[in-house]
Structure 1
Amino acid sequence: MEVAAGVVGIASFAFQTFQGCVQAFQFVERAQLIGYDGEVFRTGLLWERYRLMQWGQRAGLLEKGTPDASLNWDFAKIFLEQIDGLLTSADALKKRYGLDVSVEEIEEEQSRDLQPPEKGIPAFIAKLRPEIHTAAGKVIQSRNGPMKRVRWAALGKSDAERLVKDIAQLNDRLVMLLDSADRERRKAEDEKLLRGLVSLTTTAMQVSQLETVLPVVTEKKKTAAAIAAAAHLKQVRLLLGTDKRADEIRTQPSVQAREAARMPVVKAMKRTLRPYHGQELTYTGLEFAVHGVQPVIIQWKASNSSDKQEWTKHEQQIKLLVALLSAMEDPSFRSLPCLGHYPAPNQTCYGIVYAAPDDKHAWQLTSLYDIIPAVQDVSLAKRLEIAKAVAETILQLHTAGWLHKSLKSESVVFFADKEVSAGKAIQSDPFVFGYDYARPDSTEGAVYTQWSEANLAGDLYRHPNAQGHDRETYQKRFDMYALGCIFVELLFWKRLVDIHAEWTCPGLMATMEVAQKTNTMPEGWKLPSMMELLENGAAVARMTHLAGEKYIKAVRTCVFIDKAEEGQEASLEEEIEVVETLGSCRV
């Protein structure tokens, strides 16, 4: 009893210091530090306040919480006092940083003005974690009397960076006081929030500000590296002005100049292409070739026009697409290095050129679409691995605000030695290809989407609202629908057309062949959808038997994901849930 009472007493003192830290973050004054550097400083402080609040929640200091008896509250109080001192003590700031500061008191009425922020990263955090903003307000309002606020006569960029870094280190020490399970949960929550913040940013400057608080990337921190890579792709996309959302702002020339060094260099490959190991060039789809002495992979895109003006427009779209693909260097994108583009006007097409895995092997490439009928048995564990890999890739794209727009089983490609069988090829890691054009999601931009009305097999992967002349502007949920289609193919280990023919639309293949030849759809007939498949009780029972409830949950999430509100960025929460659900499936 005495030990427990002692813990409560020390925790009570720590809570008072915790309150002081929260209010200090809220009312810290930033005089003489304006513009980009000022925003970076504010973002750093805001992130550290969020981390402190998360720690307080885990430690049991927030409303209705019980202080964690296993936590070393003596150390916690010391670290909290140090944070409080860095934000409110003129003496500490003068001694540690040589800063010219003064401290003033704020009237209690001022301290209660805690409306949610309206714009920028503070508003994004409040949107994604409203409970944290509310909890901070309650902590501040529960403290009686006036509050301290530091005024800096001047604060340089390096001083600001040192101050934020020191606060971050103290927060790290507080986190280390939690048990390992709590630390892991906190880490996962932070990663989700950072991914959501990258997604919500609307300017290249905001991405730069956010990058300063991303975790340090190391070889072991693959998730941190993936989020940083998504932020870089988002930065490139915003600088290019491609696939621009309604709420995104075109980058100012001054910002563009500052970030120019980070932009990929788009190269036109001018040497003649040669066949790869005797294979004749087809100038269609995805194929190997030799450029100079280097083996490469070419993704061909048809121009469908020899008109010079149209060719120039097409070339600009290709260059934008190549710039984005060149920024996808992290393994989380499951893409090979993009080397540039290859114009082939005589073939009325353009090639996107990728480096081959290496030049030491004679390679073959095989798509998931081609492997499915060629390989009879593939373990459920391997199929789950492929599903999760593709889901992670789409999450990466959507974090950066980019859409694949043409996802299907033909887009998932495996590389293997030319001599091995398809069964061996599928044991390699999957890559994702086949991206549609980078363009604004607008009526004018939609002209450049490769939308073959005759490709009915491809249309099976498209959401019903993404088909036909009256289709909606492309959205994240349409990529997710296509992802759900691939999940079902992996589950049944059949092509999507065969799955629908068995469960939703008998005779589908024959009907599609007639429609393809005549270029007309039978009257009153429409392509079957995933919604129909998931409404078929017998089909769902079979799928559940084959892969279990969790896998079916992931499929349903992909297919039935809600449309985002007008002018709002779609949340990543359901996409993250899909990845986590697949990761939790056990064979």
Structure 2
Amino acid sequence: MDPISGVALILGLPSLVVSCADFYRKVLISRRIGRDGALLLTKAAIEQAKFHDWLTQAGFLDGSPHKLHLNLTASRVVMSAIEGIKLTLENLGSIIDKYELDEGGEVTGLNFALPDRFWLQATGKQLPTDGIVKTEKRIRDGTRFSRKRFTWAAADMELSQNLINDLRRFNEDLRYASHEMGTSAPNLPSKVLPQVLNTEELERLVAAASETYPELSKCASMKLEALNIARDLSAPPQLQNELIRRRKLILTSSTSFQTFRNLVQYLDEGSQMTVLLEDKYYPKERDQAYDQFVHRRVYEVAKLLASTPKPSKFRALDCLGYVHDRIRGCYSFIFRLPPNFDESKSPVSLNVFWSESSERSISKVALGQRFDIARAVATSLLYLHACGILHKAFHSGNILFFQRKSEKMPDLSSPFLLGYDYARPHGVPFKSEVNDPLQIQGEQIYAHPDYDPSAKRRYLKAFDLYGLGVLLLEIAIWRSATTLIPPNTARSEARLLLINETLNLEPVVGAQYVGVVARCLTGDIYSEQTPTKAVSLMIDEEDELDGQNQNAFVRNIVERLDRCFA
């Protein structure tokens, strides 16, 4: 390797990077090009999001491109890819520029703009917010305007699609040449969805990503459903809505129910199947307003979980609807069982495996297998948040494992997330229940110290992350976190004890895993090092910082778990 040549190549990157970012910024402008044209721009915006994420991880947004430690061959691949992106965007821009700007020249919501600090660092000045509009005033031949088109030409559409395919290939070249840097397709939903805030853009994103990024498309579809639910809040569900099921469950008697989760037979259009029933109880003493509130919440959650197909990493069962059992005083969600599993065997929750009193306990699980479980549950929560859903009961009792046919033990490689009885869509219009799951013994340890359901304060994604941290700690030690905390310990003190226990685990699970758990427990998800002290939550700014928080969740939680190996 010639180190001088390698350095020369890397030194040439900043100017190319600025050019590419600027071309993306100018190409992705709202124009009057119809549905097909808007769809193509959305596809280009997805590639822009991937490129910008690569810039972030390479250090171009914080002034340290030296994070690119590449050999000469990899440096050449990176330079070639970025030069290819620039040329492709030039060609795409020349096509797009034929079409009329939308009224006012607004930048679309899917133009993933880089922060001001990038432009200040790169150009020495901040770009004006109306800078893109001035591109419409360019004179093509130096003397006059060309008349802009309003309809999308077929030839332009085919050529533009080919150019967008080229952008995707160049992004892949960057990712592979830079090894761990760059957004991989599985984590793309968390990079893109926080910035897509209206139904029209989500509908385009669902269509634009369906072929190339199906997981992103499925997540966008679920977030679209969440936004539609928020829009319809003023219209409570009718008693006979499309999700409530009557006289379809084949039950012997209510006394046959041993727990709040039970396998029962379900009659659907003449055919019988085994389903999982999960109960949501309500207090005996309640008023009509509370009844309506709970019914509305059950309907919202069932509608979200009925969305199909779901992203594979979502790790959720399909909801067929719900029933209202007034005798037992509960609503019951009806879940379809996962395929290829033994329907005669009840699922087993994660906490059962380390319970000494359970016949199904497993005293030892290989570290590599525990890492796999940790990755799966963390990614499940990541996808849940990306789709705009708060879980609100993220603990080991809600991680379920099913037993495959002809197997003697549940399949530990395929966990599923349940326990949606207190879940709700994320957003200002949605309120949490006054009746709270913290009353259940053993679950308080998963609750963030700042979470107070009686204070009428919004539930935050950070509270779910704290529960994830406790769960990841339990997976590491393979026993309940309650064994680490004396009885009646305040939640704030319990957190300190859990953090200290985590920091002592490095010889067992490694520095990467310890850092992940510590970030969840302290709330310091932005820290590149292992944090040791809890940070204050920015409650009022959570929505504003949603995109940044999701990126930190990907970068410092999920992607670091991907680097944990036994």
Relative to the length of structure 2, the TM-score reads: 0.72
Conserved? CA contact 2:46–2:192, under 8 Å: no
Root-mean-square deviation over aligned CA pairs: 4.8
Q: Tell me the equivalent position of 2:376.
A: 389
Structure 2 residue 496 is the aligned partner of structure 1 residue 496: no
C-alpha distance in structure 2 between counterparts of 1:469 and 1:456, whole Å: 18
Q: Tell me the equivalent position of 1:199.
A: 194
Q: Which amino acid aligns with 2:467?
A: A
Match of 2:345 among 363, 380, 383: 363
Match of 1:323 among 291, 297, 303: 303
Q: Which amino acid aligns with 1:155?
A: T
Worse overlay, 359-368 or 47-56: 47-56
Q: Tell me the equivalent position of 1:550.
A: 512
1:419-468 CA-to-partner distances (Å, cap 9, x unmatched) read: 976xx22535111100124267669822x354145424211110011135
Q: Tell me the equivalent position of 1:84.
A: 90
Worse overlay, 380-389 or 206-215: 206-215
Structure 1 SS opposite 2:335:
strand
Pairwise CA distance, 1:121: 2.9
Q: Tell me the equivalent position of 2:424.
A: 438
Pairwise CA distance, 1:137: 9.2
Structure 2 residue 319 is the aligned partner of structure 1 residue 338: yes
Q: Tell me the equivalent position of 1:226.
A: 215
1:152-190 CA-to-partner distances (Å, cap 9, x unmatched) read: 2323386674453132133346557769424874453x7
Pairwise CA distance, 1:71: 4.9
C-alpha distance in structure 2 between counterparts of 1:29 and 1:371, whole Å: 51
Match of 2:226 among 232, 237, 254: 237
Pairwise CA distance, 1:569: 3.7
Conserved? CA contact 1:416–1:428, under 8 Å: no
Pairwise CA distance, 1:476: 0.7
Q: Tell me the equivalent position of 2:280.
A: 301
Worse overlay, 574-583 or 476-485: 574-583
Q: Tell me the equivalent position of 1:566.
A: 540
Pairwise CA distance, 1:551: 1.3
Inter-CA distance 26–499: structure 2 relative to 1 (3 Å threshold): closer
C-alpha distance in structure 1 between counterparts of 2:48 and 2:291, whole Å: 52
1:526-585 CA-to-partner distances (Å, cap 9, x unmatched) read: 34655221454xx34642232222211111111112534624243113321211222211
Q: Which amino acid aligns with 1:320?
A: E
1:70-127 CA-to-partner distances (Å, cap 9, x unmatched) read: 4599999798656534533xxxx6xxxxx99599xxxxxxxxxx9xx887333x5334
Q: Which amino acid aligns with 1:84?
A: E
Inter-CA distance 477–159: structure 2 relative to 1 (3 Å threshold): farther
Unaligned runs of 5+ in 1: 94-98, 104-113, 218-223, 242-249, 254-264, 512-524
Conserved? CA contact 1:554–1:581, under 8 Å: yes
- Equivalent runs, 1:521-532 vs 2, <5 Å: 526-527=490-491, 529-532=493-496
Q: Tell me the equivalent position of 1:285.
A: 260
Q: Tell me the equivalent position of 1:482.
A: 467
Structure 2 residue 105 is the aligned partner of structure 1 residue 126: no
C-alpha distance in structure 1 between counterparts of 2:226 and 2:277, whole Å: 23
Match of 1:533 among 497, 521, 539: 497
Conserved? CA contact 1:23–1:147, under 8 Å: no
Q: Tell me the equivalent position of 1:221.
A: none
Conserved? CA contact 1:30–1:151, under 8 Å: no
Percent identity of equivalent pairs: 20
Inter-CA distance 493–154: structure 2 relative to 1 (3 Å threshold): same
- Equivalent runs, 1:88-487 vs 2, <5 Å: 88=94, 120-122=109-111, 124-127=112-115, 131=118, 135=122, 152-156=148-152, 161-172=157-168, 174=170, 180-182=176-178, 185-188=181-184, 195-211=190-206, 213-214=208-209, 216-217=211-212, 224-241=213-230, 250=231, 266-275=242-251, 281-282=256-257, 284-292=259-267, 293-305=272-284, 310-327=290-307, 329-358=310-339, 361-373=343-355, 374-416=361-403, 424-425=409-410, 427-435=412-420, 436-438=422-424, 445-446=431-432, 448=433, 450-452=435-437, 454-467=439-452, 469-470=454-455, 472-487=457-472
C-alpha distance in structure 2 between counterparts of 1:59 and 1:491, whole Å: 31
Pairwise CA distance, 1:273: 3.0
Conserved? CA contact 1:302–1:350, under 8 Å: yes
C-alpha distance in structure 1 between counterparts of 2:458 and 2:81, whole Å: 55
C-alpha distance in structure 1 between counterparts of 2:551 and 2:393, whole Å: 22
1:318-339 CA-to-partner distances (Å, cap 9, x unmatched) read: 1111011112622211112211
Structure 2 SS opposite 1:354:
strand
Q: Which amino acid aligns with 1:285?
A: F
C-alpha distance in structure 1 between counterparts of 2:348 and 2:455, whole Å: 34
C-alpha distance in structure 2 between counterparts of 1:314 and 1:46, whole Å: 39
Conserved? CA contact 1:404–1:479, under 8 Å: yes
Structure 1 SS opposite 2:507:
helix
Q: Which amino acid aligns with 2:194?
A: S
Conserved? CA contact 1:298–1:352, under 8 Å: yes
Pairwise CA distance, 1:389: 0.7
Conserved? CA contact 1:52–1:171, under 8 Å: no
Q: Tell me the equivalent position of 1:582.
A: 561
Q: Tell me the equivalent position of 2:131.
A: none
Q: Name whichever structure is richer in helix by fraction.
A: 1
Q: Tell me the equivalent position of 1:257.
A: none
Q: Which amino acid aligns with 2:298?
A: I
Inter-CA distance 437–136: structure 2 relative to 1 (3 Å threshold): same
Conserved? CA contact 2:277–2:333, under 8 Å: yes
Unaligned runs of 5+ in 2: 129-136, 141-145, 235-240, 356-360, 525-536
Inter-CA distance 399–24: structure 2 relative to 1 (3 Å threshold): closer
